[in-house]
Structure 1
Amino acid sequence: MTRHEETGAALLSVLLLVAVMAVIAATALDRLTLATRIAGSAATVDQGRAYAFAAEQIALRRVGELVRRDPAKLTLAGDWLGRDFTLPLPGGTGRARLADANNCFNLNSLAAETAPGRLSQRSGAIAQFGELMVLLGIDRGEALGIAGAAADWIDSDGNDGPLGAEDGVYRSMQTSYLPANRKMADPSELRAVRGVTPKIYARLRPWICVLPVADPVRLNVNTLAPEQAPLIAMLMPGQIAIGDARAALAARPAGGYGSSVRFWEASSLARLDPGDIAEQTGVTSRWLALTVNVTMGDGFLTAESLIDANGGAPAAGQAAPAIVRRDWGESD
C-alpha cells in the first residue's frame, strides 16, 4: 500500500468514527430531550393534581355552606348549579363546576342490597329504567331487554331474570365474557350489557349515573331543570306525560318547593296519586358531582369527584361533606 493510500484509509476511518459519534450524540440528545419532556409532563401533572385537590377543598367548603344554610332543602339559590367557577392559578387556569348527582338514573338502583354484598333485582326500578329509555326514543322492546339485562348484570344470582341475560348469554357471544354480578363502578359498564349499542349508550349517557349505593332513585325537584322532565315521567311508567312533568318543574317557586308533597300538588300533576313513588322525589340532595379542569401551558387535566353532602351520616348537617370517589380524565 502506498503512502497516499494509507492517508486515504486513515481519513476514511476518521470520517467513519466521526459519523458514528454523531449518531450516538444525536441519539443521546434525542433521549435527553424526551426524558426532559417526560419529567416536565410528570411535574405538570403533579402540579395539576395538586390544584385539583385544592379545588376539591374549596368545593367541600361551598357545599358545607349550602348544607348549613338549610339542611332540609337544597335549591338553586346562590347560582351554584352548573356554573363555572374560575380558579386563580399561578402559571395556568382552572375551572370548577358543581352538578347535582342525584338527578339521574342510578344504574345501581336496579338491584337492592338485601344483605352485605347480596343484590336482588328491584322490579320497580327496572320498569322505570325501561320507561326512561322509551321516553328518550328507544324502541320499547329494546328498552325492556336492556333494563332486564342490566339488572341481571348487577344482581348476585346467576339466574336469568325476565328479559334478562346471565352467564350463558355472554358466553355464547363471539367475544365471550361474564356479567359482573355486583354494583357498577362507572356508567361505561353499561356498554357491556347485552343489547346496548354505541348509539343507545350515547343517548342514555346524559341521563344515567352510578352512585356507590343501591338505593332507589331519589330526585331533587328543587334542582331538576325542566329539560330533565323525563326523569320525573319515568317514575310512574305510562302515567306522567313529559309535558306535565316539565310544567311542574317550571312552576317551581323561587325559593323551591318546601316538600315533595307540594311538588305533587302542582296543577299539572294533581290528578295523580303517586303513593310510595312520592318518596323518590325530595327537596334535598345527598350526592353532588364536581368537575375540575386545569390547564398549565400545553398540559390539560380533568378530575371528576363525587361528593357526599351528608359526609356518611344519615342526614345532612350531621357531618362535614366528603369526597367518596375521584376519577382522572374526561368521562366517555
Structure 2
Amino acid sequence: MNKLKANRKQTGVALISVLMIIAIVVVIAASMTSRLQLQIQRQQNIQQQTQAFWYAMAAEQFSRVLLARSLAGEKTVNLNQDWALQGAAFPVDNGTISGEIKDLRSCFNLNALQNNSGEANRATVEFNTAQKAFQRLLELKLPDLTMPAEYLTARIADWLDEDSLLMTSGSAEEDDYASLVYPYYTANTLMVSPSELRVILDITPADYQALAPYICVIPEDSRLLVNVNTLNEESAILLAALIPALTEEAAIEILKDRPEDGFTTIEEITASPQLADAEVPEDVKNMLVFTSEYFMLTATTAYLESGFVLTSVLRKNDNNKIKVLARRFGDHG
C-alpha cells in the first residue's frame, strides 16, 4: 500500500516537472518568435529605406541630366526653363519620386556676411553692401525678431570671420559662446548649411523658421549674387533689400515685367519705371546677375511604408557638367 502511494507521488512529481518544462519551452518559443518577427520587420524596414534612398539618388542623377540639358547653350538661367518646373512627381514600383530644384542665386547666401575688412577696431567698422542688404531684409520681412536686425547681422558676420573681435556692441564672439551653460566656439569659417543659423546666440526656432524661406548657404562661396531671372513674388524682397530705393511692391512689379526668357543686361532693370528716379550704386549692380551655377535639389521619395529626403547642392561647371558639392539626408527644415 505504501509502495503504491509512493509510486503515485513520484508520478505526480514527474507530471509537474514535465508541465514545467513544457511551460518553459513555450515561453522560450514565444520569446524567440517575437524576436524573429522583430528582426524580420527590422530587415524589411532597412530594405525599404535602402530602396527609398536609391530612388532619391536616381532623382539626383536625373536632375543633373535635366540641368545640363536645360542650360546647354543658354545665356541666362530663368524660370522658363525645364529645370524650374515645380511639383513634378513620378510613380515608380511601390512608391513615388518627387523633386524640386532651386537656384541658389535666388536666395540670400549667408556666407556673404563674412567680414573681411581686417580692421582691428570692429566697433568703428561699417557694414558692407551685403550686410546692409541683409539688415534691410530683416527689417522689411522680420520685424518681430527677438533681437535688432543689426545685432543678428553682426553676430552672423562674427560667426563667419576668422578673428575673435566683436564687430559691434550687440554682436557675439567666442567668449560669449564659451560662457554658456553648454559652451561651444564660433565656427570662424564659412557655413556649410543654413541650419547653422540655429546656433547663433539668442536665435529662437521662430526666428529661424521665419528667415528660412529667404536664406541659403553656398559652400565655399562668400559672394552675394542675386539672379533677377529666378526671383519670384516671394523672393522679390531680395531685390528691394539690395536697392533701398525699391519697395517690395515695386520689386514685384519689375519682376512681372520681366521678359519671358529673363533680363540680359542691368540696363533693362534700371530703365524700369520703378527705378526711373533712383540711382543704383555700382556695387549693387555688380551683385545683380542673370545666370547661375549653383542649384539645390530637394528630392522626396516613398517606397511602401518608408520615405526619404535628399538635399543636394549642385554646381554647373564651365563645360556644362553638373557636379554634386554636398548632400544632406533627412528633413533639415
Q: With structure 2 as the length reference, what TM-score do the two structures score?
A: 0.89
- Over 4 Å off, 4+ runs: 112-115
Question: Percent same amino acid among aligned pairs?
Answer: 29
Q: For the residues of structure 2 that align with 1:174 and 1:219, how far apart are their CA atoms? A: 39
Q: For the residues of structure 2 that align with 1:297 and 1:46, how far apart are their CA atoms? A: 12
- Give per-residue Cα distances to partners, 1:216-265, cap 9 Å, x unaligned: 221111111122121111113x4321111111111112222122331222
Partner of 1:203: 210
Residue 290 (1) aligns with residue 294 (2) = no
- Report deviation, 1:296: 0.9
How many residues align structurally? Answer: 320
Residue 23 (1) aligns with residue 13 (2) = no
Mapping of residues 148-159 of structure 1, within 5 Å: 148-159=154-165
- Kept in 1, the 8 Å contact 2:315–2:323? The answer is yes
Residue 126 (1) aligns with residue 127 (2) = no
Q: For the residues of structure 2 that align with 1:15 and 1:26, how far apart are their CA atoms? A: 16
Gaps of 5+ in 2: 119-124
Q: For the residues of structure 2 that align with 1:159 and 1:84, how far apart are their CA atoms? A: 46
> What's the secondary structure of 1:226's corresponding residue?
coil
- Give per-residue Cα distances to partners, 1:161-193, cap 9 Å, x unaligned: 113211111122232221111111211111111
> What's the secondary structure of 2:97's corresponding residue?
strand
Indicate the structure whose relative CO is greater, using CA pairs within 8 Å and at least 6 residues apart. 2
Q: Which amino acid aligns with 2:223?
A: P
Q: Which amino acid aligns with 2:50?
A: D
Q: Which amino acid aligns with 1:68?
A: A
Residue 4 (1) aligns with residue 8 (2) = yes
**Of the two, which has the highest radius of gyration?**
2
The one of 159, 179, 182 aligned to 1:175: 182
- Report deviation, 1:152: 0.7
Q: Which amino acid aligns with 1:282?
A: V
Partner of 2:122: none
Does the C-alpha gap of structure 1 residues 77 and 229 become closer, same or farther in structure 2, counting only changes over 3 Å? closer
Partner of 2:198: 191
The one of 144, 151, 161 aligned to 1:145: 151
Partner of 1:59: 63
Q: For the residues of structure 2 that align with 1:2 and 1:123, how far apart are their CA atoms? A: 103
Q: For the residues of structure 2 that align with 1:220 and 1:233, how far apart are their CA atoms? A: 13
The Cα RMSD (Å) is 2.3
Mapping of residues 76-155 of structure 1, within 5 Å: 76-78=79-81, 80-111=83-114, 123-138=128-143, 142-155=148-161
Residue 240 (1) aligns with residue 246 (2) = yes
Gaps of 5+ in 1: none
- Kept in 1, the 8 Å contact 2:227–2:288? The answer is yes
Q: For the residues of structure 2 that align with 1:195 and 1:127, how far apart are their CA atoms? A: 21
